[in-house]
Amino acid sequence: MIRIAVCSLCLKTRKENLMLFGKNICEDCEAELTQSSTEDLSYDLYVKKMKEVITAPSKQDKNKL
Ligand SMILES: [Zn+2]
């Protein structure tokens, strides 16, 4: 079953790929994350984004619980 979800990092509507704390991370962003090294400038940005995704309270999730 293919589900569609908005990617929490690039905010594009993509096929559900990697669900992390109820947020979708699309294939492209997952690849970016896994390919990024600590020396890449984009790595910091992604780490920050990931922290936002993980720590941000979600009203939708609240309703599900
Ligand atoms: Zn994405």
Q: Is residue 50 in some structural domain?
A: yes
pLDDT score, position 27:
92
φ/ψ of 39, rounded to 5, equals -85, -15
Residues comprising the chain, all counted: 65
Q: Is residue 48 in some structural domain?
A: yes
- CB-based contact 9:49 (threshold 8 Å): yes
The rounded radius of gyration (Å) of the Cα atoms in the chain is: 12
pLDDT score, position 32:
82
CA 58, CA 15: separation in Å to the nearest integer? 20
Cα of 15 from ligand 1 centre, angstroms:
10
Q: Is residue 65 in some structural domain?
A: no
Range of the domain at 54: 26-58
* pTM (two decimals): 0.58
Q: Is residue 5 in some structural domain?
A: no
Q: Is residue 44 in some structural domain?
A: yes
pLDDT score, position 64:
53
| Total structural domains within the chain | 1
pLDDT score, position 45:
75
Ion ligand 1, residue ranges at CB < 5 A = 7, 9-10, 26, 29
Low-confidence ranges of the chain (pLDDT < 70): 36-41, 43, 56-65
Alpha carbon distances (Å) from 58 to 3, 5, 21, 38: 19, 14, 10, 29
Cα of 62 from ligand 1 centre, angstroms:
23
Cα of 28 from ligand 1 centre, angstroms:
6
